[in-house]
Structure 1
Amino acid sequence: MAAKDRIVIVTGAAGGIGRALVDVLARDGDTVVAVDLPGTGVVELAQKVGTGHIGIECDVAREGDVKALFAMIDERFGRLDVLVNNAAMGPTMTPTVDTSVDLFRRTLSVNLIGPFMMAREAARRMRAGSAIVNIASLAGILGNPRRNAYSASKAGLISFTKSLACEWASRGIRVCAVAPGYVRTPMVEELERTGKADIPAVRRRVPMGRMCRPDEIASAARFLASSQARYITGSVLAVDGGWMSFNQPGEAHPPVDGTPAAELGRPGPSGGSRVVVVTGGAEGIGAAISYRFARGGDIVVVADRNPAGALAQAEKLGAPHVGLVVDVADEASVVAMFGEVARRFGRIDILVNNAAVADTFTPALEQTPEHIERLLDINLTGAFVCAREALKLMKPGGVVLNLGSINTFLPFAPRHAYGASKAGIDILTRCMAAELGPKGLRFATVAPGYIRTPGVAALETSGKVDFGAIRRRIPMGDLGRPDDIADAAHFLASDDASYINGAILYVDGGWTSFGNAGFASAGNDETTDAVE
């Protein structure tokens, strides 16, 4: 996944997540600069990883330390490719009335100002294609008692992620964040030891019934820093087991006896080819997704309402891949298609709900209920029926991926029905994650921005949309490629995403991170290749 010979800095490298980051990046062939406080053993840690890696003692809250660190980077390497801002002070669980200003400021200094200084110095040395990944927290998204400074610092780090992504996109530097839920780290173990966290209760609150492993956070960061995430910037990926998707009184998962095995170590690979159904798989994004899973060794069912297109795409992929006809707006057609999958393969491991139609540009005063219903039948109800039928054929470990949109978060006028359908897709993902996470099934949403598909190319040719203005609205200055969505979908369906459940991943060139007036970039008038 990673480009070889990258120079990568990991801060907080001696902690649980930090050690996992060092290990996974070193295995990829990166040269890792492990950074942590004096006395943490970070120098010895780097030496154990292998030749070429180095450990440096540094307090990221001290600007002098940060500048001295980068002076050493300059002298030894002369460049930097990836920064993972992982160093942080954990929550002290101090009541508000007992929290001193010094403690509050110290937390902000380590968790917020420190990562900013690291990013600033890193960006000065980075070339186009480099990446910064900030390890934020679910605490920066959802409020919790007695975590004032910690939560505020992580919310600020998420904001920095988005604003820096927009500022540095023109330089080819991407900035993303991972928002972990509860992770089995020494920090959390200390909270449990001191009685500040009830870990069995935490497990009951997570639909997946366990805490996250450090390597699951490292794998998410690894993907976001890779070339497969080249069109992802400003995005915040929640890795929380479905915590954010559960929103009702009671427990999200039945009580668990002891510590779940999957919390202690990564299960072995399941082995064998997975059966993957891709709706709308004959062209554009669907064809790219079909190809990506086939290239990974999976068996792909190309499901499309165009029989010739489905068969043609399956023939391009070659045996054992198949093409089946389905109209997702017709329940009987969906049931029949999944019945045929059951007859041929006996199971489904992954469903990618990609089939959708775009809205017209009809003003709201001229739209009819029939127009809205027809679009919802395809984009939302159709996705639901496909998921319902696929779930009947899934075993624990199954994954449903739904294709959302930047309109999930930022609807466009007058594309009211389309925006509503994609907002519905996101919450559909979350509802199923909460309900079926305890059964060992995962769900996620991939939300594309403007992607240069044949349909988008036709819009550009027709002159119905000003794509010059659209490119200038995108911080990265250009449309994405179908392969960008395919790579994100393939990651989310992989074992590397084993704790991602109910999350949404925006693959939009920074579109949803830009909140300024005016344009986000100078734009790029050159077009990217569309999938045939």
Structure 2
Amino acid sequence: MDQRKLAIVTGAAGGIGQALLAEFARRGHRLFAVDLPGSDLAAIVARFGEGHLWHECNLGNEGEIVAMYERIDREVGRVDILANNAAVGPTMATTVNTDLAQFRLTMQVNFYGAFVMAREAAKRMQKGGAIVNTASQAGVLGNPTRNAYAASKAAVISMTKSLAAEWASKGIRVTAVAPGYVRTPMVAELESSGKVDMSITRRRIPVGRIGRPDEIASAIGFLSSPEARYVTGSCLAVDGAWAAFNQPGHAHPEVIGIPAAELEAPAATESGRVVVVTGGGRGIGAAIVRQFASQGDKVVVLDREGAEEAAAELGPDSLGIALDITDDEAVSAAFEQIKQRYGHVDVLVNDAAIADVFKPAVEQTFEDLARVMEVNVTGAFNCVKQTLALMPDGAGVIVNLGSINTFLPFAPRHAYGASKAAIDILTRCLAAELGPQGKRVVTVAPGYIRTPGVEDLERNNRIDTGAICRRIPMGDMGKPQDIANAVYFVASPAASYISGSILYVDGGWTSFGNAGDASTGDFEP
């Protein structure tokens, strides 16, 4: 009997759908391809070898979906991953010219069908199951003449969060990706036939090109994997920083022809990257340091405590520098040392941060605010400036660590929440500015993570761990390695179209909007 995980892919005959089949096949999963009749699924699936399955189904028909899952029960007996990818595209009709029957059909396929697909998959999933919905930037940002499509995709994003909160206790994760423009076969044909001018679109995207289907598939592959075990309810933008650009004019100079990176993935760098991690001496930062080093990267650890010891454990290719990130001269000296040792920097991870003191706002002062902002924002910005002087032309990644407080601030931690909101918008500004230079900037936002700092708060009765875990849909805090996995992914070539985005790694914290507890607080992984 085939013991491989079963990955269902809807819309499997399309550009992103076929890339998803390739992604899941690469990960060693068994494929179950789904699309409309006449989609030539048999030939598509045959390319991936023996044992894979296909099924023709109209996702606008609930009965057909249920019958398909009954077939899975008979022939497979398991469901592990669902990539809810199928959709009816935008009609581009004005509001007064939009046919209500077409509007209803769009909702029926894109939202109702996706919901029933998820419902039936969840009934059959064990702990560790993953559902990833393909949403769209059209569901996040307004677009004229895309009413039905955009509304249906916004509905999918909301559904992602509500299902994530409901099913976290079952060990089933639900996430979404929001692609920007993607070079599917349909888009390529429209451009080659002269029906659309994609050069206009490319000038609106900070990275200067539209995405490839494999770039969407790789994000979905990560979100469906055990490496994303603490990510649920999150919607990850994969849009080349489209949503990060917010001003008149063009985001990128005019591009002549079709960029090479739009047609195929550039060759991966074989030698280890030079990665600088601030706050890398302990906790989340130490896990990030170990993750990069384990993959052959040369890591520079910057921290007030533990930097030199952490680097020594990694071996001679690594460097540890003890410094206070608010000391401008010390930071400049550290990057000069990095320049002398390595000559360049490929990746910067801004992890160094402190929390504000627990006291009411009426007692907080300039000094209290500055203490946090100098470390969490100004220090991080200074490291970005120093790094950019050492980054190669046309390459480089900056990953900033945000927080659930980016989106949901806590009282009385006013400065900390403000600092993490500042980091998120700093990421977006940098992504919009640096995209034309071939550089990406991403925020990873942790929820409650079991770090030494959290343990200190628990010992000193400053936090109620039980109450916190009950507020988390997954019922437990995350581990430093969960954040390290996310940071490593967004800094990797597999995330090459992700920039300006924020990825919440929070066990569903930011997806829960009800009153009361989100879980029993006793989740067993």
Indicate the residue corresponding to 1:333 in structure 2: 330
**Paired residue type of 1:397:** A
**Residues 87 and 301 from structure 1, CA distance in 2 versus in 1: closer, same or farther, beyond 3 angstroms?**
same
Alignment of 1:282-293 (within 5 A): 282-293=281-292
Asked if 1:362 corresponds to 2:359, the answer is yes
Distance in 1 (CA, whole Å) between partners of 2:349 and 2:37 is: 47
Alignment of 1:191-202 (within 5 A): 192=191, 197-202=196-201
**Residues 155 and 187 from structure 1, CA distance in 2 versus in 1: closer, same or farther, beyond 3 angstroms?**
farther
Conserved 8 A contact 1:130-1:174? yes
TM-score of the aligned structures, taking structure 2 as reference length: 0.98
Distance in 2 (CA, whole Å) between partners of 1:213 and 1:300 is: 30
Distance in 1 (CA, whole Å) between partners of 2:519 and 2:191 is: 47
Conserved 8 A contact 1:47-1:55? no
Distance in 1 (CA, whole Å) between partners of 2:35 and 2:149 is: 19
Q: CA deviation at 1:358?
A: 1.1
Q: CA deviation at 1:144?
A: 0.3
SS in 2 for 1:56: strand
Q: CA deviation at 1:24?
A: 1.3
SS in 1 for 2:348: strand
Unmatched 5+ stretches in structure 2: none
Residues 25-50 of structure 1 deviation map (CA, whole Å, 9 limit, x = unaligned): 11211000010000011122112221
Conserved 8 A contact 1:12-1:36? yes
Indicate the residue corresponding to 2:503 in structure 1: 505
Q: CA deviation at 1:187?
A: 3.7
Indicate the residue corresponding to 1:10 in structure 2: 9
Indicate the residue corresponding to 1:58 in structure 2: 57
Alignment of 1:463-482 (within 5 A): 463-482=461-480
458-467 vs 293-302, which moves further: 458-467
Asked if 1:217 corresponds to 2:216, the answer is yes
Alignment of 1:133-144 (within 5 A): 133-144=132-143
Indicate the residue corresponding to 1:428 in structure 2: 426
Indicate the residue corresponding to 1:273 in structure 2: 272
Residues 43-80 of structure 1 deviation map (CA, whole Å, 9 limit, x = unaligned): 22112221011111111111111011101111111110
Distance in 2 (CA, whole Å) between partners of 1:45 and 1:262 is: 24
SS in 1 for 2:400: strand
Indicate the residue corresponding to 1:379 in structure 2: 376
Indicate the residue corresponding to 1:523 in structure 2: 521
Indicate the residue corresponding to 2:404 in structure 1: 406
Q: CA deviation at 1:186?
A: 2.9
Distance in 2 (CA, whole Å) between partners of 1:466 and 1:193 is: 60
SS in 1 for 2:408: coil
Residues 443-477 of structure 1 deviation map (CA, whole Å, 9 limit, x = unaligned): 00000000000110111111111111100000000
Distance in 2 (CA, whole Å) between partners of 1:109 and 1:45 is: 26
69-78 vs 205-214, which moves further: 69-78
Q: CA deviation at 1:524?
A: 2.1
Conserved 8 A contact 2:161-2:174? yes
213-222 vs 35-44, which moves further: 35-44
**Paired residue type of 1:484:** D
Aligned residues: 522
Q: CA deviation at 1:525?
A: 8.1
Residues 229-256 of structure 1 deviation map (CA, whole Å, 9 limit, x = unaligned): 0000000000000101100000000000
Asked if 1:169 corresponds to 2:171, the answer is no
Conserved 8 A contact 1:468-1:525? no
**Paired residue type of 1:63:** E
Indicate the residue corresponding to 1:321 in structure 2: 318
**Residues 51 and 330 from structure 1, CA distance in 2 versus in 1: closer, same or farther, beyond 3 angstroms?**
same
Distance in 2 (CA, whole Å) between partners of 1:48 and 1:188 is: 23
Conserved 8 A contact 1:93-1:196? no
Residues 94-146 of structure 1 deviation map (CA, whole Å, 9 limit, x = unaligned): 11110011000000011110000000000000000010000100000000001
Conserved 8 A contact 2:356-2:368? no
**Paired residue type of 1:221:** I
Residues 478-498 of structure 1 deviation map (CA, whole Å, 9 limit, x = unaligned): 000000000000000000000
Q: CA deviation at 1:319?
A: 2.0
Q: CA deviation at 1:195?
A: 7.0
Distance in 2 (CA, whole Å) between partners of 1:289 and 1:142 is: 33
Indicate the residue corresponding to 1:148 in structure 2: 147
Distance in 2 (CA, whole Å) between partners of 1:525 and 1:316 is: 33
SS in 2 for 1:129: coil
Conserved 8 A contact 1:45-1:55? no
Distance in 2 (CA, whole Å) between partners of 1:262 and 1:111 is: 30
Q: CA deviation at 1:318?
A: 1.8
Indicate the residue corresponding to 2:492 in structure 1: 494
Distance in 1 (CA, whole Å) between partners of 2:196 and 2:432 is: 22
Q: CA deviation at 1:295?
A: 0.3
Conserved 8 A contact 1:90-1:187? no
Indicate the residue corresponding to 1:445 in structure 2: 443
Residues 221-280 of structure 1 deviation map (CA, whole Å, 9 limit, x = unaligned): 000000000000000000000101100000000000000000001111121010000001
Q: CA deviation at 1:326?
A: 2.0
Q: CA deviation at 1:197?
A: 4.3
Distance in 1 (CA, whole Å) between partners of 2:312 and 2:501 is: 33
Indicate the residue corresponding to 2:124 in structure 1: 125
Distance in 1 (CA, whole Å) between partners of 2:94 and 2:196 is: 14
Q: CA deviation at 1:188?
A: 2.9
**Paired residue type of 2:400:** N
Residues 295-348 of structure 1 deviation map (CA, whole Å, 9 limit, x = unaligned): 011000111112xx1111112212211111221111111111111000100000
Stretches of 4+ aligned residues off by more than 6 angstroms: 193-196
**Paired residue type of 1:329:** T
Unmatched 5+ stretches in structure 1: none
178-187 vs 379-388, which moves further: 178-187
SS in 2 for 1:355: coil
Distance in 1 (CA, whole Å) between partners of 2:400 and 2:86 is: 33
Conserved 8 A contact 2:474-2:523? no
Indicate the residue corresponding to 1:302 in structure 2: 301
**Paired residue type of 1:22:** L
Residues 369-399 of structure 1 deviation map (CA, whole Å, 9 limit, x = unaligned): 1110111000000000000100110012200
Indicate the residue corresponding to 1:484 in structure 2: 482
Conserved 8 A contact 2:169-2:523? no
**Paired residue type of 1:182:** Y
TM-score of the aligned structures, taking structure 1 as reference length: 0.96
**Residues 77 and 525 from structure 1, CA distance in 2 versus in 1: closer, same or farther, beyond 3 angstroms?**
closer
**Paired residue type of 1:452:** R
Question: Over aligned residue pairs, what C-alpha RMSD do you find?
Answer: 1.3
Distance in 2 (CA, whole Å) between partners of 1:336 and 1:409 is: 35
Indicate the residue corresponding to 1:346 in structure 2: 343
Distance in 1 (CA, whole Å) between partners of 2:171 and 2:372 is: 37
Distance in 2 (CA, whole Å) between partners of 1:217 and 1:428 is: 24
